[in-house]
């Protein structure tokens, strides 16, 4: 595979890919001379999608591309300058636009590499840098990471259901527009599909492209046999015939007839595709017909609104399907079309530069109360690399010596102690330092392999679709206590 570079996808800059309030806040910070106050934000989700037990982090390559190209062009500044407030006066003064013109991205970014398995409340990305800049990029980071993480997770679930079978992504035509389709193809590949029908995604990202033919091909000829014969002439060694245009099992018989003629000329039919009807029954019948005719290697491809639960059910029914073609349900994440990732301020450098003020967003629901600190995620694993528990801790404070206690942020009675010798790794890795990419991001193939490895390492009870176990993620005890202290303080209940 030869992954095409992502660089330039968003050049010239997409700096206006944001909500207006980010720019109005940026102006406000600038006016208050707060633009350079060092701030820390975390991007995280509160619940894994699809009522599942995990998510697969994706979108960082797009984020890096976006940040590398972040700069306000003349057109951007002219547009911002044209915006008017309620009284018809410019929303942004010229001096502020001049500031934006010369602004250079200078934040540090730490992130989980794409393909990392992530759980609720864990920062996927941590941004540290000038308040104005770290705030301004919120919306773009969320739109890039939320969608791609959602689709990569859906793909990982489909991969789980399909086991070792081939999975093809067929979603572009029903995706949420061109960019939805393109980024979904990339995220789906990252999450575990084998190939896409999306040719632009093939060119851009080096994803293998594959496909069969449409019903219209069959309809364009006087009968099925003529249509199959013509397709075989065009692609004598790369043909998959769609057999359900009129009558599926009759279609299979026609496919066999043409396959015999192909064999006589030294070519083998690659497969047939079923796209309607009872896929369990029809695939078993088709398999029998093909085997009896001496074509045990002709693959059976199935499509028609498939997703992970249907694949599981079809397998239980004894379906004889080798390749799953999955479109709409995958690229639109049909049963949960958005991941609710958020981006929250967690620390601000004190005005006198003497340390950090840690910040918290309260909520009636404890689950929505943010986590203060400059967070890192430490994953404790068995000797064999099976994840056991994740610990969020504040890197701005020293960790206690000896064993560490991890406490569930929602239930203080759920806690565990980890010994210092327990193998572990830190999930957030440096991506940008002072606005510069530390090193090129890994190729897509590597991120895909990571996703595969990390999902498989999870206990099956966390991977299952129905009522999965909750993987233990907790706050290191000092952080847990500090967060409670801050909650009480902000509610006016702190100690005198
Ligand atoms: N054996 C099966 N068990 C469960 N679901 C199945 C089975 N076979 C097919 N399905 C799924 O049932 C849904 C509806 O199938 P159905 O054959 O009614 O589709 P359709 O699109 O209405 O067919 P047609 O194109 O003939 O109108 C699809 O999502 C399909 O994948
Ligand atoms: O069902 P999905 O998971 O979204 O998979 C993609 C679908 O798109 C095609 O149908 P369409 O009717 O658009 O074209 P066709 O005539 O080639 O079947 C294909 O045959 C699949 O049924
Ligand atoms: O190649 C295919 O079979 C295909 C491509 C897009 C959508 N549905 C099917």
Mean pLDDT confidence for 477-482: 96
Of 278, 307, 315, best ligand 1 pocket probe by most atoms within 8 Å of the beta carbon: 278
The confidence score (pLDDT) of residue 243 equals 98
- What's the Cα-to-Cα distance from 27 to each of 37, 69, 71, 79, rounded to whole Å? 14, 21, 16, 15
**pLDDT tens column, 102-116:** 999 999 999 999 999
Higher pLDDT, 349 or 14: 349
Mean pLDDT confidence for 87-116: 98
- CA–CA–CA angle 351, 398, 395 (5° rounding): 65
For 252-289, b/e burial (b = at least 16 CB within 10 A) is bebbbebbeebeeeebebbbbbbbeeebbebbbbbbeb
Ligand 3, atom 1, lies closest to the CA of 211
Q: How far does the centroid of ligand 2 lie from the alpha carbon of residue 304, in Å?
A: 6
Read off the tokens for 341.
């990732």
Task: Check: CB of residue 142 under 8 Å from CB of residue 343.
Answer: yes
**pLDDT tens column, 133-185:** 999 999 999 999 999 999 999 999 999 999 999 999 999 999 999 999 999 99
Q: What SS3 state is found at 448?
A: helix
Is the C-beta atom of 282 inside 6 A of ligand 1?
no
The confidence score (pLDDT) of residue 380 equals 97
Task: Check: CB of residue 318 under 8 Å from CB of residue 324.
Answer: no
Q: In residues, how long is the chain?
A: 496
Tell me which residues have their CB closer than 6 angstroms to ligand 3. 170, 197, 211-212, 273, 303, 325, 327
Nearest of 290, 249, 244 to residue 268 by alpha carbon = 290
Whether the ω angle into residue 208 lies within 30 degrees of 0, i.e. cis, is: no
Ligand 2, atom 22, lies closest to the CA of 304
By the 10 Å C-beta count (0-12 exposed, 13-18 middle, 19+ buried), 355 is classed as exposed
Task: Say what the pTM is.
Answer: 0.96
**pLDDT tens column, 395-454:** 999 999 999 999 999 999 999 999 989 999 999 999 999 999 999 999 999 999 999 999
Q: How far does the centroid of ligand 1 lie from the alpha carbon of residue 22, in Å?
A: 46
Q: At what angle do helices 177-191 and 444-457 cross, to 10 degrees?
A: 60
Sign of the four-CA dihedral 27, 31, 36, 37: negative
Ligand 1, atom 6, lies closest to the CA of 278
Lowest-pLDDT range of 9-13, 206-210, 264-268, 381-385: 9-13
Q: Which atom from ligand 1 is nearest to the alpha carbon of 306?
A: 31
Q: Which atom from ligand 3 is nearest to the alpha carbon of 273?
A: 3
- Within 8 A by CB and 6+ apart from 192, the residues are 155, 156, 158, 159, 167, 448, 451, 452, 455
Task: Check: CB of residue 280 under 8 Å from CB of residue 306.
Answer: no
The confidence score (pLDDT) of residue 58 equals 98
**pLDDT tens column, 24-76:** 999 999 999 999 999 999 999 999 999 999 999 999 999 999 999 999 999 99
Q: Over 70: is that where the pLDDT of 6 sits?
A: no
Q: What is the CA radius of gyration of the chain?
A: 27
Is the C-beta atom of 317 inside 6 A of ligand 1?
yes
* Domains of the chain and any CATH numbers: 20-70+105-151+337-490 (3.20.140.10), 160-331 (3.20.20.70)
Per-residue pLDDT band at 5 (split at 50, 70, 90):
very low
**pLDDT tens column, 246-284:** 999 999 999 999 999 999 999 999 999 999 999 999 999
Per-residue pLDDT band at 1 (split at 50, 70, 90):
very low
Q: Mark out the alpha helices in 137-247 (DSSP H runs).
A: 138-162, 177-191, 199-205, 215-219, 224-234
- CA–CA–CA angle 267, 273, 279 (5° rounding): 140
């Amino acid at each position: 595979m030869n992954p095409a570079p992502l660089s330039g996808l968003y050049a010239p800059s997409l700096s206006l890919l944001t909500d207006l309030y980010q720019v109005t806040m940026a102006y406000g910070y600038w006016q208050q001379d707060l633009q350079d106050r060092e701030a820390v934000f975390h991007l995280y989700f509160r619940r894994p999608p699809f009522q599942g037990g995990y998510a697969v982090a994706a979108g960082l390559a797009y984020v890096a591309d976006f940040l590398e190209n972040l700069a306000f062009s003349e057109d951007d500044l002219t547009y911002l300058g044209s915006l008017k407030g309620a009284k018809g006066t410019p929303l942004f003064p010229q001096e502020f636009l001049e500031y934006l013109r010369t602004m250079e991205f200078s934040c540090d970014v730490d992130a989980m590499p794409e393909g990392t398995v992530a759980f609720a409340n864990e920062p996927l990305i941590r941004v540290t840098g000038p308040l104005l800049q770290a705030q301004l990029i919120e919306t773009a980071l969320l739109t890039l990471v939320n969608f791609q993480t959602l689709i990569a997770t859906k793909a990982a679930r489909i991969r789980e259901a399909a086991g070792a079978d081939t999975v093809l992504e067929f979603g572009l035509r029903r995706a949420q527009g061109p960019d939805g389709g393109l980024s979904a193809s990339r995220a789906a590949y990252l999450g575990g599909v084998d190939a896409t029908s999306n040719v632009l995604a093939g060119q851009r990202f080096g994803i293998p492209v594959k496909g069969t033919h449409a019903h219209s091909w069959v309809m364009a000829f006087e009968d099925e046999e003529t249509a199959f014969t013509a397709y075989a002439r065009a692609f004598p060694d790369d043909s998959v015939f769609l057999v359900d245009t009129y009558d599926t099992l009759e279609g299979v018989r026609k496919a066999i007839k043409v396959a015999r003629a192909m064999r006589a000329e030294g070519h083998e039919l690659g497969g047939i595709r079923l796209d309607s009807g009872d896929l369990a029954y029809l695939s078993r019948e088709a398999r029998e017909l093909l085997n009896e005719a001496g074509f045990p290697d002709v693959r059976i491809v199935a499509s028609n609104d498939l997703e992970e639960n249907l694949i599981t059910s079809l397998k239980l029914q004894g379906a004889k399907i080798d390749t799953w073609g999955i479109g709409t349900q995958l690229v639109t994440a049909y049963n949960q079309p958005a991941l609710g990732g958020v981006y929250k301020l967690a620390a601000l450098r004190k005005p006198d530069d003497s340390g950090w003020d840690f910040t918290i967003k309260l909520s009636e629901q404890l689950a929505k109360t943010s986590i203060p600190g400059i967070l890192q995620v430490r994953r404790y694993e068995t000797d064999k690399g099976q994840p056991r528990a994740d610990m969020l801790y504040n890197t701005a404070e020293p960790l206690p010596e000896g064993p560490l206690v991890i406490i569930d942020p929602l239930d203080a009675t759920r806690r565990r102690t980890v010994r210092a010798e327990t193998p572990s790794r830190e999930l957030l890795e440096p991506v940008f330092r002072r606005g510069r990419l530390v090193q090129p991001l890994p190729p897509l193939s590597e991120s895909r392999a990571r996703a595969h490895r990390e999902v498989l390492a999870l206990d099956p009870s966390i991977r299952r679709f129905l009522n999965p176990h909750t993987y233990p993620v907790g706050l290191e005890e000092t952080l847990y206590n500090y967060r409670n202290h801050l909650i009480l303080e902000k509610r006016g209940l702190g100690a005198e």
